[in-house]
Amino acid sequence: MPFGLKIAIINREFRRRMDEKAAAMGLTWAQLRVLGSVSRLEAAGKEEIHQNDLERIERVTHPAMTNLLRRLESKGFVRCVPSEKDRRYKKITCTARSAGIHEVILAQDREVMEALCRDFTPRRKEMLEETIGLILDNIDLE
């Protein structure tokens, strides 16, 4: 089986399982990822989070992120208000409902990964993480 097909199958299964978890919160996996990015940036102390920050992190287009943020705002998970530093931008923040949700998402991510790698030894899991990290480094070089 070609490597690309293997990666695609793993991606689909990972997404399916994370979609189930997101649906339990009334979200899609894409919405949950964006929400997690906002929460993680806030927890890291980023003063203002703008749409272009999220577009870069999630590697999506401006229109796609606009739609995601509108849905998250309509569901009460984020607030988008004019930036105090630059009125051309909107500052995006988590609401009380979603503050700290990145920790929940990380736990869910670990849970899915553990299920997919249930027969792996600790060393094999570590090697997988290292290998994936190297592949991601190569992607960032392009």
Question: Contact at 8 Å (CB) between 40 and 130?
Answer: no
Q: What is the rounded average pLDDT of the residues 38-45?
A: 94
Does the pLDDT value for residue 142 go beyond 60?
no
Buried-state track 44-73, b at ≥16 Cβ within 10 A, e below 16: eeeeebbbebbbebbebeeeebeebbebbe
Domains and CATH numbers, the chain: 3-141 (1.10.10.10)
> Whole-model pTM?
0.79
pLDDT for position 85: 84
Does the pLDDT value for residue 83 go beyond 90?
no
Q: What percent of the chain has pLDDT over 90?
A: 84
pLDDT for position 88: 84
- Average pLDDT taken over every residue of the chain: 92
